[in-house]
Structures are given as C-alpha cells and as structure tokens.
Amino acid sequence: MQFNDWRTIGAALCFAVAMYGCLRANFAAFRIVDLVNRQVGPDEQESMLGWGWTKTRRVFSRYRAFYPDGDLIRRYWLHGGVMFVGMIGVAISIGFFDPR
C-alpha cells in the first residue's frame, strides 16, 4: 500500500470513531430530554428537536435538579469529546494541517 492509502484508511477509521461519538452523544441527549419530560408537566415538556445553547442549559439544569446522581451529562460531554478527537484525526489524515 502507498502512503496515501494508509492516510485514507486512517481518515475512514477516525471518521467512524467520530460518528460513534456523535451517535452516543445524541442518544444521551435524547435520554436526558426523555427523563426530564417524565418529571415535568405537559405544558413544560421539551421537544426532542431544535437544540440550541439556551435549551441545552435549561434541560441540563433540570436534569441535574431531578437526577443529582445521574451521569448522562458526563456521558454526553465524553462522547462529544470522542467525536471532536475523531474529527481532528480526520483533518490530520487528509492533510488539513499540513503546512505544505
């Protein structure tokens, strides 16, 4: 195999790791919303769609209030970090940071 073949394989593997982290982070976020919606009334339910910084803060603070020993927020950030590291690996593999 040539050098470019190995870089392509590395990029594909890093992309797979990034997508794994993305899916797991999304599953954690959906689980958090589901658990919060079980605790609040029907007029305060959160939607699974339409995420933003204010909604994330609101849902995460409610989750911490209802489940102080819950670890889903930690999992959310952990898997988000896995996604970020995987995408950095993709960028390095395809030569994005190559100074040539």
| Amino acid identity at 56 | T
The radius of gyration computed from the CA coordinates of the chain, to the nearest angstrom, equals: 18
- Average per-residue pLDDT in the chain? 92
More confident residue, 51 or 74: 74
* Mean pLDDT value across residues 28-53: 93
What's the average model confidence in pLDDT over 43-71? 93
Q: pTM for the complete prediction?
A: 0.85
Instruction: List the chain domain ranges.
Output: 3-93
* pLDDT for the residue numbered 5: 82
Task: Check pLDDT > 60 for residue 1.
Answer: no
Give the model's confidence band at 3: pLDDT under 50 very low, under 70 low, under 90 confident, else very high: low
